[in-house]
Amino acid sequence: MRKPTKYKLKDKDYLDLWKYCEEVGGRDKDRMVATVTWLLAFAIGLLGYIVKFWKSLEVIQKIIFGSAGMLICGLAGVLIYAFGAYANRYWYMADWIKEKKIEGLHEFHDKKIFIDAIEKDKATKRCGRFDNHFIKCFSRDKPATQGLLGVFKVFLVLTCTLGVMFAGVIVCGFFGQSTCY
């Protein structure tokens, strides 16, 4: 068996590696958004069908449709966590490379500097501080690429809310038509 060749990274290699890790993390986030959007759209369509035909559906149909909706929401939740874990893995590596191996890049890519720039922007002051508050809300005390980012949190909240609605369909299906909707 051949022994692997030892390779020594150069300064330019770290920049390329940082770019690669940032790109892969971003692609994982984009895939999550696309995949979960389709799943949630299908679940919302199913919920709309249930609401529209509520009175004509049998109890067993309500329970089956509600269970199917909860299953879709569960799958979406698992995908959010899976894609989030992969994205965070690469973003963590990118942050480590940025802070430990590339001098000066952390100043350019720092969340606090980004938020300070938004606060100083005159357009932000005219339009209110909602955007700035929103950014701060989803990146508390962590660099922007660590932890579950805002987009992952938003999709998780949407998925859980939709799952609770489907649980309501199941419960209301047990009690009959007169109690719900």
**Strands (DSSP E) along 36-172, which ranges?**
none
Confidence label for 131 from pLDDT (cuts 50, 70 and 90): very low
What residue type is 125 in one-letter code?
A: K
pLDDT of res. 153: 80
Tell me if 163 sits within 8 A of 67, measured CB to CB: no
List the helix and strand counts (H, then E) for the chain. Answer: 7, 0
- Cα separation, 28 vs 137, in Å, equals 22
Tell me if 40 sits within 8 A of 76, measured CB to CB: yes
This prediction's pTM: 0.70
- Cα separation, 133 vs 147, in Å, equals 18
Helix (H) or strand (E) holding 179: none
105: region left, alpha or beta (phi > 0 left; psi from -120 to 50 alpha): alpha
On the question of pLDDT at 154 being above 80, the answer is yes
On the question of pLDDT at 149 being above 70, the answer is no
On the question of pLDDT at 71 being above 90, the answer is yes
Q: What tokens appear for 118 in the block?
A: 């938004």
The mean pLDDT value for 137-153 works out to 54
Confidence label for 148 from pLDDT (cuts 50, 70 and 90): very low
Residue with tokens 């649980």: 167
